[in-house]
Chains A and B, each alone.
Chain A
Amino acid sequence: MNPSLPRAEAVAVRDDRIVEVGTLDSLRPWLDAHEYRIDDRFADCVLTPGFIDPHLHPSMAAVLLPMHFVTAMEWKLPWGRVAPTTTPTAFDQRLSELDAEIAPNETLYVWGYHQLWHGPMHRARIDSIVANRPVVVWHRSFHELYMNAKALTWLGITESAVGNRQQIDLIKGHFYENGLGYAINQLNPHILSPERYADGLERLKQVVHAGGHTTIADMATGLFDFDREWQAMKDVLDTDDTPFRTELIVHATRLRQGGKTDAEALALADALVERNTHRLRFDKRIKLFADGAFFSLLAQVGEPGYIDGHRGEWLTPPELLHDMARTYWNAGYRIHLHVTGDLGVELGLDVLQRLQFERPRFNHGFTFEHFGFSTPEQIKRIRALGANVSANVYYLHELSDIYALEGIGYERASQMARLGSCFREGIMTTLHSDFTMAPAEPLNSAWVAVNRINCEGHQMAATECLTSEQALAAITINAAHVIGRADDIGSIRAGKKADFTVLGADPLTCDPLELKDIPVQGTVFEGNVFPLS
Chain B
Amino acid sequence: MIPVTVIGGYLGAGKTTLINRILSATTTPLAVLVNDFGALGIDAELIDRANASVMELTNGCVCCTIQDDLGGALESIRGSDVHHVIIEASGVALPKKVAQYGHTWPGYCPGGVAVLVDVVHIQRLRRDKFVKHLVDQQLQQADLLLLSKTDLADPPAEITRYGKRTVDLQNVTEFDWLLQLKPSPNPEQIADHVHFIATELTEKISLEPVEVRRFLEQNPQIRRAKGWFRDGNGDQWHLQAVADTCAIEPSVARPTSLVFIHLADTQIDLECLVKGAH
How distant is the Cα of A311 from the Cα of B137 in the complex, in angstroms?
9
Partner of A258, one of B10, B36, B70, B92: B36
Kindly report which residue of chain B lies nearest to residue A292, judged by CB atoms.
B92
Kindly report which residue of chain A lies nearest to residue B94, judged by CB atoms.
A313
Chain A: residues with Cβ within 8 Å of the partner, total of: 31
Partner of B91, one of A178, A260, A317: A317
With contacts A163-B106, A166-B104, A182-B105 known, is A314 near B70, CB below 8 A? no
The 10 A-B residue pairs with the shortest CB-CB distance, nearest first, are: A259-B38, A181-B71, A317-B11, A314-B92, A166-B104, A317-B91, A178-B104, A318-B130, A162-B106, A259-B36
B57 to chain A, nearest CB (A): 16
Does any Cβ of A come within 8 Å of B75's Cβ?
yes
B36 to chain A, nearest CB (A): 5
Between A and B, 24 residue pairs with Cβ closer than 8 Å are A163-B107, A167-B104, A178-B100, A178-B104, A179-B104, A181-B70, A181-B101, A182-B75, A184-B71, A185-B75, A257-B36, A259-B37, A259-B38, A259-B39, A260-B38, A311-B133, A313-B94, A314-B92, A317-B11, A317-B92, A317-B131, A318-B130, A318-B131, A347-B130
Contact A317 B10 (CB under 8 A): yes
Contact B104 A316 (CB under 8 A): no
Does any Cβ of A come within 8 Å of B232's Cβ?
no
Contact B11 A319 (CB under 8 A): yes
Q: Which residues of B contact A320 (CB under 8 A)?
A: 11, 91
Using a CB–CB distance below 8 Å, which chain A residues touch chain B? 161-163, 165-168, 178-179, 181-182, 184-185, 256-260, 300, 311, 313-320, 343, 346-347
B68 to chain A, nearest CB (A): 8
Q: Which residues of A contact B130 (CB under 8 A)?
A: 300, 314, 318, 343, 346-347
How distant is the Cα of A314 from the Cα of B40 in the complex, in angstroms?
23
Q: Which residues of B contact A343 (CB under 8 A)?
A: 129-130
Partner of B101, one of A168, A178, A258: A178
A254 to chain B, nearest CB (A): 9
How distant is the Cα of A320 from the Cα of B100 in the complex, in angstroms?
26
How distant is the Cα of A264 from the Cα of B11 in the complex, in angstroms?
21
How distant is the Cα of A259 from the Cα of B10 in the complex, in angstroms?
18
Q: Which residues of B contact A316 (CB under 8 A)?
A: 92
Q: A317-B10, A343-B129 are in contact. List 10 more A-B contacts (CB 8 A).
A: A161-B106, A178-B104, A181-B70, A258-B65, A259-B36, A311-B134, A314-B131, A315-B92, A317-B131, A347-B130
How distant is the Cα of A314 from the Cα of B11 in the complex, in angstroms?
12
Q: Which residues of B contact A258 (CB under 8 A)?
A: 36-38, 52, 65
Interface residues of B in 49-91 (CB under 8 A from A): 52, 65, 67, 70-72, 75, 91
A35 to chain B, nearest CB (A): 56
What string of 1s and 0s marks CB contacts (under 8 Å) between B102-121 and chain A?
A: 00111100000000000000
How distant is the Cα of A314 from the Cα of B94 in the complex, in angstroms?
10
Q: Which residues of B contact A178 (CB under 8 A)?
A: 100-101, 104-105
How distant is the Cα of A313 from the Cα of B91 in the complex, in angstroms?
11
Q: Which residues of B contact A318 (CB under 8 A)?
A: 128, 130-131
Partner of A182, one of B10, B11, B106, B134: B106
Kindly report which residue of chain A lies nearest to residue B109, judged by CB atoms.
A163
How distant is the Cα of A260 from the Cα of B12 in the complex, in angstroms?
17
Kindly report which residue of chain B lies nearest to residue A300, judged by CB atoms.
B130
Q: Which residues of A contact B72 (CB under 8 A)?
A: 185
Contact A257 B65 (CB under 8 A): yes
Most buried by A among B38, B40, B106, B129: B106
Q: Which residues of A contact B134 (CB under 8 A)?
A: 311, 313-314
Kindly report which residue of chain B lies nearest to residue A305, judged by CB atoms.
B133
Q: Which residues of B contact A163 (CB under 8 A)?
A: 106-107
Kindly report which residue of chain B lies nearest to residue A162, judged by CB atoms.
B106
B95 to chain A, nearest CB (A): 13
How distant is the Cα of A316 from the Cα of B67 in the complex, in angstroms?
13
Kindly report which residue of chain A lies nearest to residue B40, judged by CB atoms.
A259
How distant is the Cα of A438 from the Cα of B40 in the complex, in angstroms?
40
Contact B37 A313 (CB under 8 A): no
A167 to chain B, nearest CB (A): 6
Q: Which residues of A contact B100 (CB under 8 A)?
A: 166, 178
How distant is the Cα of A347 from the Cα of B92 in the complex, in angstroms?
15
How distant is the Cα of A168 from the Cα of B40 in the complex, in angstroms?
34
A318 to chain B, nearest CB (A): 5
Q: Which residues of A contact B92 (CB under 8 A)?
A: 313-317
How distant is the Cα of A411 from the Cα of B65 in the complex, in angstroms?
43
Contact B10 A185 (CB under 8 A): no
Kindly report which residue of chain A lies nearest to residue B137, judged by CB atoms.
A311
Interface residues of B in 135-157 (CB under 8 A from A): 137
A63 to chain B, nearest CB (A): 15
Partner of B71, one of A162, A182, A315: A182
Kindly report which residue of chain B lies nearest to residue A318, judged by CB atoms.
B130
How distant is the Cα of A515 from the Cα of B11 in the complex, in angstroms?
48
Partner of A165, one of B11, B104, B128, B137: B104
Q: Which residues of A contact B105 (CB under 8 A)?
A: 165, 178, 181-182
How distant is the Cα of A445 from the Cα of B268 in the complex, in angstroms?
52
How distant is the Cα of A163 from the Cα of B1 in the complex, in angstroms?
10
Contact B67 A257 (CB under 8 A): yes
Q: Which residues of B contact A256 (CB under 8 A)?
A: 36
How distant is the Cα of A347 from the Cα of B11 in the complex, in angstroms?
16
Q: Which residues of B contact A260 (CB under 8 A)?
A: 38
Q: Which residues of A contact B106 (CB under 8 A)?
A: 161-163, 165, 168, 182
Kindly report which residue of chain A lies nearest to residue B133, judged by CB atoms.
A311
Contact B38 A185 (CB under 8 A): no
How distant is the Cα of A167 from the Cα of B104 in the complex, in angstroms?
8
Q: Which residues of B contact A185 (CB under 8 A)?
A: 71-72, 75
